[in-house]
Structure 1
C-alpha cells in the first residue's frame, strides 16, 4: 500500500502569460518563460524592465511599469536620500548590567589531561608506536593498582 498522497497547492502556482493552461511554480517561472516563448513567437508580449518574469502586452506595459512592485528597487538605487529606508534603523540603547563577561571566572580552568591522570579513567595513547603504547599500558596498570580507592 502506498503512503499518503499530497495534493499540490494550486494557489501557489502562477499562470503562464503565453498559455493560460500552463500552471508554473514560482521558482520555475523564468525557465518556463524562455521555453514557452519559443512556442509563441507570434505573440506581442514585452518584458518588464524591472523584472524579466513580468510579461505583458504592449498596451498593458505602460500601466504595469507605473505599478510594478519591483520598480521600488530601482527608485531606491537612483534616489537613496529621498525615499525611506527599506528597513527601519535599529535604535541604539544600552542595558545596564552588573555582570562583566570579560573578567576572569572565579573558578580555575579545566585541564582534561591532569584530571585524567588523577582520576580512574582509562586512557588510550593515540598515534604512539607499539613500544610506547605497551609502556603506557604498563604505567597505567601500576597507577590503577597503587591507587585502589574504589
Structure 2
C-alpha cells in the first residue's frame, strides 16, 4: 500500500505548534494557552502534566522529569532564586552622565497657542454646536460680518 503525503500548510506554517493532546490540532503560539484550556476539557482522561516553569509545556508523566531538567524556562527561576550565581539577563547600565546647560523643565520663551484667538483672527470657518436655533443664526450673522471686515 502506498503512503500518502499530504501537504498541510499555508502562510507561515512553520510558526504553528502541535497540540500535545491532539496531534491534528495546529495552533499559533499566541493562542496556545487558550487552546490548551479548551482541549484539556475534551481530553480529560489523558495523563498530561504541566511544566512548573511554563504552563504551556504539557508532557506525559514519564517525560516530565527529563523535561524539568532541560526546560529552557528554568533559567528564569534559577536567576530569581540565585541572582548572584548566574550572569544577568541584560548588561547593567553604566552610570554615565552627560553635563548640559539646557533646562528642559523651564518654560519656553514663546506664548502658548490659543486656537480660539487664532480662528477669530484668520479666515477660518467656524460652526457653533449645542445652541438653540436663534443663537446659531446670530453666530452665523456675526461670522458673515467678520469675514466682510477682513476683506
Task: State whether TM-score is above 0.5.
Answer: yes
Q: 1:106 Cα shift?
A: 3.1
Which structure: larger Rg?
A: 1
Q: Is the 8 A contact 2:19 2:36 kept in 1?
A: no
How far, CA to CA, are the matches of 1:146 and 1:17 in structure 2? 78
Match in the other structure for 1:34: 40
Unaligned runs of 5+ in 2: 1-8
Unaligned runs of 5+ in 1: 1-5
- Number of matched residues? 138
- Taking structure 1 as the reference length, what is the TM-score of the superposition? 0.64
Match in the other structure for 1:84: 87
Q: Is the 8 A contact 1:18 1:36 kept in 2?
A: no
Q: Report the 3-state secondary structure (helix = DSSP H, G, I; strand = E; otherwise coil) of the residue aligned with 1:86.
A: coil
- Taking structure 2 as the reference length, what is the TM-score of the superposition? 0.63
How far, CA to CA, are the matches of 1:69 and 1:51 in structure 2? 9
Residue number among 102, 105, 109 corresponding to 1:106 in the alignment:
109
CA RMSD of aligned residues (A): 3.3
Residues 5-62 of structure 1 show CA distances to partners (whole Å, capped at 9, x for unaligned) of x72544334455567x546334436347626754656xxx65544344241452x443
